[in-house]
């Protein structure tokens, strides 16, 4: 990895992080998703096919990792970009790369959470600038506090540490570290990756389940897939689910109209 | 002549919110600064001639605010409508403050459950399926997601912002009272729950590497994983997911702590696999 490539990857770590200059819709929920990140890292480092395979691996595990209410679990942007870039530096085949991707994603994700918490604390000072602007009846200071201030802190905390990690990785890369990684570690990390998907699903469930009957609805989707996995795909289940949701809406809406008249 | 926010300022307010809503999140006022910056063009239109009123209005919106920002674009829309009414002497400062506080809960809940927890996983699943099956065209998956998600969300957010501005407080409270919102949320939850169920079954994997082999030949006599899957396929992934749900949702464990637990479990299972000679 050249310095230029490292700078580019670090730049995307920042853009994909929560609250970057391009907004969460284009950044965190898009550039920060492992599948998208893998494609970008693949383009930068010139190995899209392997990067995408690793991206699928991470995306599966982190599918449910959304950040509701600012409760930061894991900096997905850091984890994805550093994880995949690190794996691509150290390995050229999928079998070796999949061990590395978990190691580097772990390092990246942990540092990313620390940086997020730091920015969450440092940004408090910006409130003083904004309050002063309000005292002076100067709306321009809102821009100064929110965008200029917030993004300076955000950029420094994302870009700089990411670049340092990436340059360190690239300096140690090329050595035959892969030979020293024992198979039990790769085996264990692969199992860990498969189990990690439960974290995201469990968190998503906690947002959707509000009554007991919701467990039954969840089980319906689960059983469909678990018993008929040979015949059915997740997409087919999504279509079935949309039909059921639509029928439910129509029926209940109809009942309401009958009961309450046209409100 | 009643005071009005210009079309241009409304557009500017929406774009500020869409791109910069998360720029300066912090523990004190969450999205407060972003909200005030969003309101700035509207405030300028309504109170531009009075320093005192401008200052008061900016302070009103610098207070603590939070929401799921994409669906929650309805909040600055409603706030614009309210400020317009206030400038014309129709609502009080207190109304604006209390409405904003009241919006935090429901808009976060709806945004998180319908957009973040349902639409994003579904779109990503589609993108992953494309990448998996498209072979050398695998890049199509992320590219489709990169276009579909931001563009779709932009239109949704813009729609929500305009909806909030047009219907204002009365429209929104009527809409909420009619129960239609609950019905929409419930229908989308059904969609989300079924999909999450299917995703759990296909993507969560928990091995159970325990087997009994015959002493002489090393033939596998009983493989407990196949045995278990014969009785109830994917039982262990289901249990693990429900345990995570319980720990996160009910016991309020942090995701980091749960991750630590999963790491320990994975280590134990790997160990078992080596002890029983599966790996």
Q: Do residues A173 and A83 share a domain?
A: yes
Contact status, residue B46 vs residue B76, Cβ threshold 8 Å: no
Q: Do residues B14 and B94 share a domain?
A: yes
The pLDDT value recorded for residue A69 is: 42
Compute how many other C-beta atoms are within 10 angstroms of the C-beta atom of residue A240: 18
* Residue B212, SS3 per DSSP: strand
Q: Do residues B180 and B101 share a domain?
A: yes
Taking an 8 Å cut-off on Cβ atoms, the answer to whether A195 and B201 are in contact is no
Higher pLDDT, B61 or B254: B61
Query: For residue B227, what are the domain limits?
Result: 206-275
The pLDDT value recorded for residue A154 is: 95
The pLDDT value recorded for residue B136 is: 87
Query: For residue A10, what are the domain limits?
Result: 3-208
Nearest-angstrom CA–CA distance, A227 and A220: 11
pLDDT tens for residues B110-122? Answer: 888 788 888 898 8
The pLDDT value recorded for residue A72 is: 53
Structural domains counted in chain B: 2
The pLDDT value recorded for residue A41 is: 98
Instruction: Please tell me the least confidently modeled range out of A157-171, B67-81, B182-196, B239-253.
Output: B182-196
The pLDDT value recorded for residue B121 is: 87
Residue B2 domain-assigned (yes or no): no
Nearest-angstrom CA–CA distance, A39 and A261: 53
Q: Do residues B145 and B81 share a domain?
A: yes
Contact status, residue A112 vs residue A78, Cβ threshold 8 Å: yes
Q: Do residues A192 and A89 share a domain?
A: yes
Taking an 8 Å cut-off on Cβ atoms, the answer to whether A74 and B255 are in contact is yes
pLDDT tens for residues B162-217? Answer: 999 998 877 777 777 777 778 888 898 899 899 999 989 988 999 999 988 887 76
Q: Do residues B74 and B105 share a domain?
A: yes
The residue to which tokens 């809503």 are assigned: B21
Q: Which A-chain residues 209-238 have CB contacts (< 8 A) with chain B? A: 209-210, 214, 217-227, 229, 233-235, 237-238
The pLDDT value recorded for residue A66 is: 64
- pTM summary value: 0.88
Residue at which a domain ends, from B194, B222, B239: B194
Residue B201 domain-assigned (yes or no): no
Nearest-angstrom CA–CA distance, B82 and B64: 18
Residue at which a domain ends, from B167, B194, B221: B194
Q: Do residues A160 and A230 share a domain?
A: no
Nearest-angstrom CA–CA distance, A135 and A138: 8
Structural domains counted in chain A: 2
Taking an 8 Å cut-off on Cβ atoms, the answer to whether B186 and A133 are in contact is no
Q: Do residues A71 and A156 share a domain?
A: yes
Across A54-180, the runs of DSSP E, i.e. the strands, are none
pLDDT tens for residues B36-65? Answer: 999 999 999 999 999 999 999 999 999 999
Nearest to B153 by CA among B184, B115, B105: B115
Q: Do residues B155 and B55 share a domain?
A: yes
Distance of residue B90 Cα from the nearest chain A Cα, in angstroms? 23
Among B241, B258, B264, B274, which would you mutate to test the A interface (most chain A Cβ atoms within 10 Å of its Cβ)?
A: B241
- Looking from the CA of A176 toward its CB, the CA atoms found within 13 Å total 2
Residue B199 domain-assigned (yes or no): no
* Residue B133, SS3 per DSSP: helix
Q: Do residues B44 and B161 share a domain?
A: yes
Q: Do residues B238 and B189 share a domain?
A: no
Residue B1 domain-assigned (yes or no): no
- Dihedral over alpha carbons B38, B44, B46, B48 (to 10 degrees): 160
Distance of residue A6 Cα from the nearest chain B Cα, in angstroms? 21
Q: Do residues A199 and A226 share a domain?
A: no
Higher pLDDT, B182 or B25: B25
Residue at which a domain ends, from B148, B164, B194: B194
Which tokens go with A125? Answer: 């000072």
Q: Do residues B248 and B136 share a domain?
A: no
Taking an 8 Å cut-off on Cβ atoms, the answer to whether A123 and B20 are in contact is no
Q: Do residues A191 and A223 share a domain?
A: no
Residue B200 domain-assigned (yes or no): no
Q: What would the mean pLDDT of B131-152 be, rounded to a whole number?
A: 92
Residues of B in contact with A219 (CB under 8 A): 197
With 0-12 / 13-18 / 19 or more C-beta atoms within 10 angstroms meaning exposed / middle / buried, residue B189 is: buried
Q: Do residues A83 and A194 share a domain?
A: yes
Q: Do residues A246 and A126 share a domain?
A: no
Which of the four pLDDT bands, split at 50, 70 and 90, describes residue B106?
confident
Q: Do residues A22 and A56 share a domain?
A: yes
Q: Do residues B79 and B211 share a domain?
A: no
Whether B236 shows a pLDDT value over 90: the answer reads yes
User: For A23, which of B18, B143, B184 is closest by C-beta distance?
Assistant: B18
Among B83, B108, B203, which would you mutate to test the A interface (most chain A Cβ atoms within 10 Å of its Cβ)?
A: B203
Q: Do residues B14 and B145 share a domain?
A: yes
Contact status, residue A61 vs residue A200, Cβ threshold 8 Å: yes
Quick one: DSSP state of residue B216?
T
Q: Do residues B160 and B226 share a domain?
A: no
**Does A156 touch chain B if contact means CB atoms closer than 8 Å?**
no
User: What is the predicted ipTM?
Assistant: 0.87
DSSP H stretches of helix in A149-212: 150-172, 183-208
Instruction: Please tell me the least confidently modeled range out of A67-81, A115-129, B68-82, B230-244.
Output: A67-81
Percent of chain B past pLDDT 70, that is, above it, reads: 100
| Residue segments in chain A with a per-residue pLDDT below the cut of 50 | 68-70, 263
Handedness of CA B271, B272, B273, B278 (dihedral sign): positive
The residue to which tokens 């467990």 are assigned: A215
Q: Do residues A18 and A121 share a domain?
A: yes
Residues of B in contact with A15 (CB under 8 A): none
Q: Do residues A7 and A74 share a domain?
A: yes
The pLDDT value recorded for residue A70 is: 46
User: For B21, which of A23, A206, A207 is closest by C-beta distance?
Assistant: A23
Q: Do residues B84 and B143 share a domain?
A: yes
Compute how many other C-beta atoms are within 10 angstroms of the C-beta atom of residue A96: 17
Residue B91 domain-assigned (yes or no): yes
Q: Do residues A63 and A147 share a domain?
A: yes
């Amino acid at each position: 990895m050249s310095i230029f490539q490292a700078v580019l990857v670090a730049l995307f770590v920042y853009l994909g992080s929560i609250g970057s200059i391009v907004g969460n819709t284009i950044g965190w929920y898009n550039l920060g998703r492992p599948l998208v990140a893998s494609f970008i890292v693949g383009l930068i480092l010139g190995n899209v096919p392997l990067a995408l395979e690793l991206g699928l691996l991470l995306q599966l595990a982190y599918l449910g990792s959304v950040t509701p209410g600012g409760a930061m679990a894991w900096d997905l942007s850091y984890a994805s970009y550093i994880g995949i870039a690190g794996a691509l530096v150290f390995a050229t085949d999928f079998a070796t790369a999949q061990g590395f991707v978990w190691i580097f994603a772990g390092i990246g994700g942990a540092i990313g959470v620390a940086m997020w918490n730091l920015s969450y604390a440092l940004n408090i000072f910006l409130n003083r600038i904004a309050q002063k602007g309000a005292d002076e009846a100067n709306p321009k200071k809102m821009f100064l506090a929110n965008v200029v201030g917030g993004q300076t802190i955000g950029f420094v905390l994302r870009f700089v540490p990411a670049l340092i990690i990436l340059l360190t990785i690239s300096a140690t890369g090329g050595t035959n570290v892969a030979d020293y990684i024992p198979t039990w570690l790769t085996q264990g990390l692969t199992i860990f990756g498969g189990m990690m998907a439960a974290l995201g699903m469990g968190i998503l469930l906690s947002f959707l389940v509000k009554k007991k009957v919701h467990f039954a609805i969840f089980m319906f989707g689960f059983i469909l897939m678990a018993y008929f996995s040979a015949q059915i795909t997740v997409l087919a289940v999504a279509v079935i689910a949309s039909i059921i949701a639509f029928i439910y809406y129509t029926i209940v809406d109809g009942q309401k109209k009958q009961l309450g008249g046209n409100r | 002549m009643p005071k009005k926010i210009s079309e241009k300022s409304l557009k500017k307010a929406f774009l500020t919110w869409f791109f910069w809503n998360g720029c300066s999140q912090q523990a004190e006022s969450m999205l407060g600064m972003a909200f005030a910056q969003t309101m700035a063009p509207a405030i300028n239109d309504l109170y531009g001639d009075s320093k005192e009123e401008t200052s008061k209005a900016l302070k009103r919106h610098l207070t603590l605010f939070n929401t799921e920002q994409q669906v929650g674009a309805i909040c600055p829309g409603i706030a614009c409508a309210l400020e317009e009414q206030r400038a014309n002497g129709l609502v009080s400062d207190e109304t604006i403050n209390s409405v904003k506080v009241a919006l935090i809960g429901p808009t976060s809940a709806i945004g998180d459950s319908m957009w973040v927890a349902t639409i994003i996983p579904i779109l990503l699943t589609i993108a992953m399926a494309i990448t998996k099956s498209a072979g050398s065209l695998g890049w199509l998956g992320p590219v489709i997601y990169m276009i579909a998600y931001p563009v779709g969300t932009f239109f949704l957010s813009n729609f929500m912002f305009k909806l909030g501005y047009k219907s204002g407080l009365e429209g929104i409270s009527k809409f909420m009272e009619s129960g239609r919102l609950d019905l929409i949320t419930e229908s989308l939850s059904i969609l989300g729950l079924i999909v999450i169920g299917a995703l759990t079954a296909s993507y969560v994997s928990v091995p159970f590497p325990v087997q009994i082999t015959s002493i002489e030949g090393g033939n596998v006599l009983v493989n407990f994983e196949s045995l278990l899957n014969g009785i109830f396929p994917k039982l262990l992934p289901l249990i693990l997911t429900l345990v995570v749900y319980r720990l996160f949702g009910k016991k309020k464990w942090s995701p980091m702590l749960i991750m630590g637990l999963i790491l320990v479990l994975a280590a134990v299972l790997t160990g078992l696999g080596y002890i029983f000679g599966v790996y």
